[in-house]
Amino acid sequence: MAQFENPVLPGSHPDPSVCRAGSDYYLVTSTFEYFPGLPIHHSRDLVHWRLLGHVLDRPSQLPLHGVRASGGLYAPTIRHHEGVFYVVCTLVGGTGKSGNFVVTATDPAGEWSEPRWLPEADGFDPSLFFDDTGRAWWTGTREVPGGTAGQTEVWLREFDAERLELIGDEHVLWTGALRDSVWLEAPHLYKVDGRYLLLCAEGGTDFEHSVVVATADDVTGPYRGSPLNPLLTHRHLGRDHPIAAVGHADLVCTQEDQWFAVLLATRPYGGYYYNLGRETFLVPVSWEAGGPVFSPGTGRVEARYEVPALPAHPWPEAGPTDDFDGPVLDPAWLFLRTPDEVFWSLTDRPGHLRLQVRPESITDLVTPSLVVRPQRHQDFHASCEVEFEAAGPTEWAGLVLLQNNDHHVRLLLGAGREVVLVRRTVGHDELLATTRLPEGVVRLCFEATGQETRALVAGAAEEWRLLGEPFDGRVLSTQAAGGFTGVHIGLYVTGDVVPGSSWADFGSFTHRSLDD
């Protein structure tokens, strides 16, 4: 029997939510401080996914200015009902609008509406449930007033799907499966065989993460936790297990009446460190005694499973190299926070990505001249070709491994053809190595084997050569840097110049596994 490999979405794709519309499946994940927000992936077999675009791709939809690292968009939910797609989400820590909102579309690949902000919706991690009674319901999580740190509760109100507003009375549904539990969150409601199932995460999003459920005869409760809770967790497997921190699940039933869950998990390496962040996994689900059984037979998330009983539908795969030969950026590229101005071009010099030199820096909570995409492999190669003539000592252009503003590594070309390798940890820069390269095209590269990371440089016609000594990549892990995102690899320019007077041209970018 054919098998698929987990994760189905490698790299930083946390908090997955999935829905089915006929024979099509759509999935969204959190994006935090990155723009555009909430990538929407499409599949017809739950295994192969293609990126359609983003739910929030207009600056008017997503005010991320000044948002802290790992602030921004948390835990979206996508649902489809009577020809309309709904996405609900929370913007955390916004300097302008913040809180919960809903957007809609009739075509998930098309234009999504402006957000309808819901100030009456407390907390975070919202979800929608469309009952077969014709009513719709909003669930969310909030901290218990006066409770201990991390003590939360799941609440519910009716949702008017036409006016996009909450109506009726509020009901507190559940406070968690375990005594003294923390961070009961990510609530999703379903109706199976006439009973209501409340599926939640519990224990936080790291090693203690888990999946728990409660059931009720009425949508407003009372809900009773399953005696089998937690239904899924890896915390009992130890920190050496190759898959950890499983949780934040969402269920989907195929047109063949098979059930699956998408969920997040991590893949630690080099010890309990995960640089790729939280990734999206797919797990089969069966039902016993009215409750879900995750990964029947093993009870843990596996690296491989039999493929769903659906026609295989792989999509054409993009190669590992972007030659920037299209009129617009590939949707896989992201900006750090919402750009107020266009500082990039693919038409000023066809076949190149031109980034304008601007004073904004990745060390600050701003939108620098930077484009990034998630690291997808543990053992990886990431490289670029760049042409840049710095006009002064503050101007730099090149390649970065970005965890956040205080934890990243920069490999940059500057004035006098100097190339520097700079590591930033806990907000402090350390110059690791420097060299000079000849005029013309410069090639810059990071390669990692496990957590051993190397910087490589070369002129256009030269062989790669090592710059400095290999360094420990664990400085870029969540355990070292904090936060909720994985490493993003990007192209970056900065400098104190008159805006528009200087630029760097990137001829290509490659990101691939070292096994390829």
Annotated catalytic sites, by residue?
A: 15, 185
What the block records as the tokens of 443 is 């090639």
The DSSP 8-state label assigned to residue 10 in this structure reads -
Write the secondary structure of 184-251 as one string of H (helix), E (strand) and C (coil). Answer: CEEEEEEEECCEEEEEEEECCCCCCCEEEEEEECCCCCCCEECCCCCCEECHHHCCCCCCEEEEEEEE
Q: How far apart are CA 17 and CA 26, in angstroms?
A: 8
What the block records as the tokens of 181 is 């539990």
Give the three-state DSSP class for 406: coil
Q: How far apart are CA 471 and CA 451, in angstroms?
A: 8
Rg (CA), the chain: 23
What the block records as the tokens of 324 is 């920037």
Burial class, 394, CB count within 10 angstroms (exposed 0-12 / middle 13-18 / buried 19+) = middle
What the block records as the tokens of 28 is 């969204």
Longest distance between any two alpha carbons in the chain, whole Å: 73
| 391 within 8 A of 24, measured Cβ to Cβ | no
| 155 within 8 A of 174, measured Cβ to Cβ | no
Q: How far apart are CA 52 and CA 110, in angstroms?
A: 9
CA atoms within 13 A on the CB side of 27: 32
| Strands annotated E in 65-203 | 72-81, 84-92, 99-105, 116-117, 124-130, 136-143, 152-160, 165-174, 185-192, 195-202
Element (H, E) at 291: strand 291-294
Write the secondary structure of 451-504 as one string of H (helix), E (strand) and C (coil). Answer: CEEEEEEEECCCCCEEEEEEEEHHHHCHHHHCCCCCCEEEEEEECCCCCCCCEE
